[in-house]
Every structure is written in structure tokens, then in C-alpha cells.
Amino acid sequence: MTSIRPPFVIAADPRMTKTAEPAQTQSALSLIGLSRHFGTFKALDSISLEIEEGEFFTIVGPSGSGKTTMLRILAGLDRPTQGSLLLRGTDITDMPANQRPTAMVFQSLALFDHRSVGENVEFALKMRGMPKPERREKAFELLDLVHLGRDYYNRAVTQCSGGERQRVALARALASDPEILFFDEPLSALDYRLRKTLEVELRELQRRTGRTFVYITHSLEEAMVMSDRIGIMREGKLVQIGTPAEIYGQPKDRFVARFMGEVNIFEVADHRLVDFDASVSTVKDGFLIVRPEMLHPADAKDPDVHFDATIAEVFRLGSRVQLHLETAAGLLVSEQPASCQLKPNDAVRFGFDPDQTHSVPE
């Protein structure tokens, strides 16, 4: 692994230093009631959010929930219909993208295919009029930083694999020395293994450079691995913001719980599970969120909630086994260690401990 210092020191921009408050007390980005309407349709509906300096913030949400619309406004590629955007306390709502100290990495990489890797990385530096030897030195540094190495400098972009192209795009975005990097699903076109590697590398890169990363993705797993905090979007609104552990363990409602992976949801009324007519005296009325790993074969002595199940399907997923269970509450999902020997049509009692679950009002 290459050890490297944070790339460059950012020159103070007079536009960014107008306010009197000390920089460390201010968020990197403040979104204040941001809305974006297309005709009568509210693609973004009054979003307020503080993204902290040096934070890895990920926006996740289903297709059409407004993620790209939000990122485009943050990057200056679009303007909000209402609301404002502050960078360290300074209003940049109307500042064009090319004047902002930010850069964006897209899913479609938009590299210059007819140019070399080095020329791609150096593009922003050349635009700034930096002399060639200096440019080259910085391009080398950046190629090391993204784990490509300086051997790639003269290689044609067309000779690079998908993962290598993604690293070139990253180095190119970093070359403009941005304070904030925006990522629009940069890994979604890559295969699983490469995505996993790049997830870890991106996280590492963010920590080493200390930059603020704002990332959008459909992938819950990507969000969980990389982010300090996650914002969940639904129909143009941010419905929950929290650390990955908070969002997974304490979802605000059934939508967030379902969005954050496989889940079993039971209705609770009068402190009883409606489907199994079992008492759950410690649980509030509403809905009980039971993750697959909390649902396990129960033996007779187990004090948990119990119910009869028939194994419908068994999926071996490497280190774990996913079971689909037919029950009085419909199809449920359980996850067990790979050593689990249950097979389709087995009749088993399953159960869970209600005190380890999470309940939501809606």
C-alpha cells in the first residue's frame, strides 16, 4: 500500500471566507429547506441537512426518490426552486459549478478516451495553467493515491479495465483539489469483487485525505461499509439520517426497515403479536422489526415468542444460510450459520426474543 500525504493544500478562496464565525464551528455544507420542483412535481421537498467537515455522507433511496436531483444542486449543476445551500456558512446557491471548490465523480466516467491516463488526470491542472513538470509530479502522486501507480501515466485510457478507469476518474476529480467530492453511483457498473475492493479503498482515501465525501447509491451494503452517516430519501424527502448502525438497528418506520435489507415485520396490538396471538408485554403497539438473524430455531425451553414453520426454501450464501419459512404470518426470512442443516419441507419451531427487536409506530 502506498503511503502518501494529503494531496495538496487548498488555497483560501476569498468567497469562502466572508463570514466572521470560525471555520471549525461550521458544517462543510448546510442545506436549508432545499426544494426542486419540475412543474407541479416536487422532486425535492424542503430538505434541511448539515454535512460535517471530513464526513463521508451517503444518500440512499429507491429509484426516483430525488438523490440525483439533490446531488446536482449540491454540485452546482442545477439550482433549487426554493431554499439555500451554504458552504462553511457562505451562501453558494447561485455559484456556478466551475467556481465551487468541489468535484463530482459520475457513474458514466466521462473520461477523455483519446487521451492517456496522465492527460486525463492532469486536465484540471492544465486548465489552471500549471507547468508540465509540476503537473506530472502531481499526477504521479494522485496515481499512487488511487493505487494505480505511476506506470499508468502513459497508458491509453482505452486500455484500462473498468476498475482502473474508475480510479483514473477519481484521480482526475482529486486533481482539482476539491474540498468536497460528490459521487453519483460511481461503482454501480463494476462487478461485485471490484466493487467491494473499491468501497474499502474509497473509505480509506476519504480518511487519508480528510475531505468531505457526499455519495449517492442504491446499494445499502455500499452505504453501510463506507459512510459515517446515511440519509434515507423517499419521495423527495429525507426520512431518516443516522449512522449505519442507527439506521439498521433503529429504523424510524417500516419503509426504512425494509429499505435497509431483509426484514420480518409483525403487527402488535394490545401488546400481542396479531399473527401469532402471542403476548409481547414489553413491546409497544405498532410494528415489530425482526431481522433475519434474530429469527432462529427455538427449543422447548426457550422463553422467546414461538411459532410453527415449514421450511420453504434454503439458499446457501457462502458464510450463511438464508431460510424462507412458511408460517401463520406468511413467508418469513431467517439467516443461520453455514452449518445449518435444515432442508425444504422440514417442520420446525422458530422463535425470537422480543427484547432484542425494535418497534416502530408506522
Residues lying near ligand ATP in the complex (CB under 6 A) are found at: 38, 43, 61, 63-69, 218
In the bound state with ligand ATP, the residue whose beta carbon lies nearer, of 67 and 100, is: 67
In the bound state with ligand ATP, the residue whose beta carbon lies nearer, of 64 and 361, is: 64
Q: How far is the CB of 41 from ligand ATP (least distance, A)?
A: 6
In the bound state with ligand ATP, the residue whose beta carbon lies nearer, of 232 and 289, is: 232
Q: How far is the CB of 165 from ligand ATP (least distance, A)?
A: 21
End-to-end CA, the chain = 47
Q: How far is the CB of 39 from ligand ATP (least distance, A)?
A: 7
Residues 6+ apart with CB under 8 A from 176: 103, 124, 125
Q: What per-residue string of b and e applies to 113-136 under the rule 16 or more CB within 10 Å gives b?
A: eeebbbbbbbbbbeeeebeeeebb
Q: How far is the CB of 74 from ligand ATP (least distance, A)?
A: 12
Going from the C-alpha of 262 to that of each of 132, 199, 231, 248, 292, the distances in angstroms are: 53, 22, 19, 11, 7
Residue located via cell numbers 452449518: 339
Give the DSSP letter string of 124-166.
Answer: HHHHTT--HHHHHHHHHHHHHHTT--GGGTTSBGGGS-HHHHH
Q: How far is the CB of 106 from ligand ATP (least distance, A)?
A: 12
Q: How far is the CB of 269 from ligand ATP (least distance, A)?
A: 35
3-state secondary structure of 213: strand
Listed residue (293, 301, 307) closest to 347, CA to CA: 307
Q: How far is the CB of 79 from ligand ATP (least distance, A)?
A: 12
In the bound state with ligand ATP, the residue whose beta carbon lies nearer, of 65 and 334, is: 65
C-alpha grid cell for residue 201?
479503498
Q: CA–CA separation, 158 vs 165, rounded Å?
A: 9
In the bound state with ligand ATP, the residue whose beta carbon lies nearer, of 44 and 173, is: 44
Q: CA–CA separation, 212 vs 101, rounded Å?
A: 11
In the bound state with ligand ATP, the residue whose beta carbon lies nearer, of 228 and 235, is: 235
In the bound state with ligand ATP, the residue whose beta carbon lies nearer, of 69 and 357, is: 69
* φ and ψ at residue 50, rounded to 5 degrees: -110, 125
Q: How far is the CB of 214 from ligand ATP (least distance, A)?
A: 13
* φ and ψ at residue 289, rounded to 5 degrees: -100, 115
Q: CA–CA separation, 315 vs 335, rounded Å?
A: 9
3-state secondary structure of 285: coil
In the bound state with ligand ATP, the residue whose beta carbon lies nearer, of 47 and 360, is: 47
In the bound state with ligand ATP, the residue whose beta carbon lies nearer, of 73 and 289, is: 73
Q: How far is the CB of 103 from ligand ATP (least distance, A)?
A: 19
Q: CA–CA separation, 208 vs 213, rounded Å?
A: 12
